[in-house]
Structure 1
Amino acid sequence: MLNILNTETPSLQHPDLDLYDSARLMQALVEDQLAAIDAVRAAAPALAAAVDAALPRIAAGGRLLYAGAGTSGRLGVLDSVELGPTFSWPRERAVAVMAGGDGAMFVAVEGAEDDETQGGLDLTAQHPGPNDVLLALAASGHTPYVLGALAAAHAAGSLTLGLANNPGAAVLTACDHPILLDTGAEIISGSTRLKAGTAQKIALNSFSSALMVRLNKVYGNLMVDMKATNAKLVRRAVALTRRAAGVDEARAVAALSQCDFSVKTAIVMLLKQLPAADATQLLTQHQGSVRRALAAH
């Protein structure tokens, strides 16, 4: 099987890579990554369809689940973790399972990806349901651990998305929404932490960010549902509030201080001249949409 996978086939473009000086080597490595952008661009319609399919389930209280091994697994963990500070997404609603367990995030656990049964058990342990959405990640598209997780998600009635870097991969044929990221041969043969991983990172970023936009976590192009959990993010919250509401720093800070530094609440408070409680209630009535809350009479 390995010999027929695009991601495992030696590249014909740089057979003397080890002879390059640093400047030429860096240029070759960077330029090869451009194929990741092309692959995700080609997959954009499939990603958009996946967003539309996932939206009603997530809006109904479902979770984003991720399953992967190695680089793919780590990218799933990364996407799940970053949704909290960026969009105030509850940690329990973005859950990643990875071949080899949590420790495999830091130390490679060889052989764990070959355990299809364990993939099913790890996913089942998260008690998936019909409103949950699984993102199954595998560069090869044939990782047994990920296929086990996919089978468990299907059995629970969850929506399944498969992201793989080889056409016709088992992960793509076993899921509801196949997303092919056809990056081809790697410049360093078989090293899918390169452009295959880059394509997966772009696809995950794009999918989850689009989903959050559709869930009213963004106003215009401003991330107004972030968590101000450190000094940098407090400054960002103030800047976002100033920009969206057109007020000075003092007024922005005053409003934010009354609503636990919720940017979207502060914007509605300032532009509708409402107290924090009323602004919060208005946002709730409009499913957290700042735009609809501001338009309300």
Structure 2
Amino acid sequence: MSLENLTTEQRNKNTMHIDSMSTLDMVKTINEEDKKVAEAVGTQDEEIAQAIDIGSARYQQGGRLIYIGAGTSGRLGVLDAAELVPTYGIKPERAIGLIAGGKGAMYVAVEGAEDDPKLAAEDLKKLDLSEKDVVIGLAASGRTPYVIGGLDYAQKVGAATIAIACVKHSLIGQHANIAIEAVTGAEVITGSTRMKAGTAQKMILNMISTGIMIRQGKVYQNVMIDVLPTNEKLVERAERIIQTTTNVSLEKAAKILRDADKDVGLAIVMAKTGLAKEKAELLLKKHENNVSSVLKENN
């Protein structure tokens, strides 16, 4: 599809005179347009759920989440990968963001990098991409050659592939196992896909990566339990997580956390079941470190 026919490139009739609006009207207009983003993302619930399921299965096998994109889309992928490390205590090599043009393109655009489909394949080869991995290709326009080349190489290797675009019948969607297409429509500023399209991509990535982490047992109830208590503030947070999820006193939570060698998930299992550390560890190992699964069996 040619650029001028893409919905992301159309002029928005609601913002034709945004340059002459008052500042307050400008803000209100942008906000009204942003309200449409959640609705667009909501049309892709089933596809997003499929992406979480396939991503969870591969990640459980030791695979990695690898994001590929150019420009804003690439930066959003890098951001999602980077945020998973401190949020869920995963190793940096388990979530990797690739942007056309390399790391420098995070800050300064690298002209022409997104137009070469071979570059992504080369980037993925450097990572020793395998069939265990998940490759998430991002392109608001749904047609970025860098992303298409990366998805094609991932398919060849046998990795799971997910495409995220903001147009229907996207080219990248035709090169992936799962196509997520949240049509956010014309941008407030024509073609400025860092706005509504960027917001939609961020929302979708939040759901996919959060869902995968939940399926890995890194969340109990609605609490992050892979907190790494490396300082006084984080130790206190860990103690309160144990207290609020198990209804023990703060003092007892602190003791159990010490007994569990500061492993919050292990401490929760010990507190809820009354088991000693060694037996609780065996149960967690049996259930692939999923606290909810352990407690469901031992309720």
TM-score by length of 2: 0.94
- Specify the alignment match of 1:183 in structure 2: 184
The one-letter code sitting in structure 2 at the alignment partner of 1:28 is T
Is this contact kept in 2: 1:164–1:181, CA < 8 A? yes
Is this contact kept in 1: 2:225–2:265, CA < 8 A? yes
Q: Larger deviation: 279-288 or 257-266?
A: 257-266
SS of the aligned residue for 2:98 comes to strand
- Specify the alignment match of 2:221 in structure 1: 220
- Specify the alignment match of 1:106 in structure 2: 107
Does 2:248 match 1:242?
Answer: no
1:56–1:15 distance in 2 versus 1, CA, 3 Å:
same
Q: Residues of 2 paired with 1:232 and 1:104: CA distance?
A: 35
**TM-fit CA distance, 1:111:** 2.1
Q: Residues of 2 paired with 1:135 and 1:48: CA distance?
A: 14
SS of the aligned residue for 1:179 comes to strand
- Specify the alignment match of 1:169 in structure 2: 170
- Specify the alignment match of 2:22 in structure 1: 21
1:107–1:89 distance in 2 versus 1, CA, 3 Å:
same
Q: Residues of 2 paired with 1:123 and 1:219: CA distance?
A: 33
- Specify the alignment match of 1:86 in structure 2: 87
SS of the aligned residue for 1:80 comes to helix
SS of the aligned residue for 2:141 comes to coil
Q: Residues of 2 paired with 1:103 and 1:262: CA distance?
A: 37
SS of the aligned residue for 1:100 comes to coil
Question: How many residues are paired up?
Answer: 297
**TM-fit CA distance, 1:238:** 2.1
- Specify the alignment match of 2:298 in structure 1: 296
Q: Residues of 2 paired with 1:96 and 1:271: CA distance?
A: 38
**TM-fit CA distance, 1:255:** 2.0
- Specify the alignment match of 1:146 in structure 2: 147
Q: Residues of 2 paired with 1:197 and 1:18: CA distance?
A: 22
- Specify the alignment match of 2:272 in structure 1: 271
Unaligned runs of 5+ in 2: none
- Specify the alignment match of 1:254 in structure 2: 255
Is this contact kept in 1: 2:273–2:298, CA < 8 A? no
The one-letter code sitting in structure 2 at the alignment partner of 1:296 is N
Q: Residues of 1 paired with 2:209 and 2:230: CA distance?
A: 21
1:287–1:155 distance in 2 versus 1, CA, 3 Å:
same
Cα root mean square deviation, aligned = 1.7
Q: Larger deviation: 183-192 or 213-222?
A: 213-222
Q: Residues of 2 paired with 1:260 and 1:19: CA distance?
A: 61
The one-letter code sitting in structure 1 at the alignment partner of 2:127 is Q
Alignment deviations for residues 116-164 of structure 1 (CA, whole Å, 9 cap, x no partner) = 1111111121111111111000011111111111111111111100001
1:149–1:231 distance in 2 versus 1, CA, 3 Å:
farther
Is this contact kept in 2: 1:65–1:134, CA < 8 A? yes
Is this contact kept in 2: 1:57–1:131, CA < 8 A? yes
Q: Larger deviation: 130-139 or 281-290?
A: 281-290
Q: Residues of 2 paired with 1:285 and 1:215: CA distance?
A: 13
- Specify the alignment match of 2:70 in structure 1: 69
The one-letter code sitting in structure 1 at the alignment partner of 2:132 is N
SS of the aligned residue for 2:83 comes to helix
Q: Larger deviation: 139-148 or 220-229?
A: 220-229
Unaligned runs of 5+ in 1: none
Q: Larger deviation: 191-200 or 123-132?
A: 123-132
Is this contact kept in 2: 1:8–1:186, CA < 8 A? yes
The one-letter code sitting in structure 1 at the alignment partner of 2:228 is K
Is this contact kept in 2: 1:84–1:227, CA < 8 A? no
TM-score by length of 1: 0.94
Alignment deviations for residues 246-273 of structure 1 (CA, whole Å, 9 cap, x no partner) = 1222222222233343211111122223
Is this contact kept in 2: 1:245–1:267, CA < 8 A? yes
Q: Residues of 1 paired with 2:233 and 2:165: CA distance?
A: 36
- Specify the alignment match of 1:55 in structure 2: 56
Is this contact kept in 2: 1:83–1:89, CA < 8 A? yes
Is this contact kept in 2: 1:166–1:182, CA < 8 A? yes
Q: Residues of 1 paired with 2:235 and 2:187: CA distance?
A: 41
**TM-fit CA distance, 1:115:** 1.9
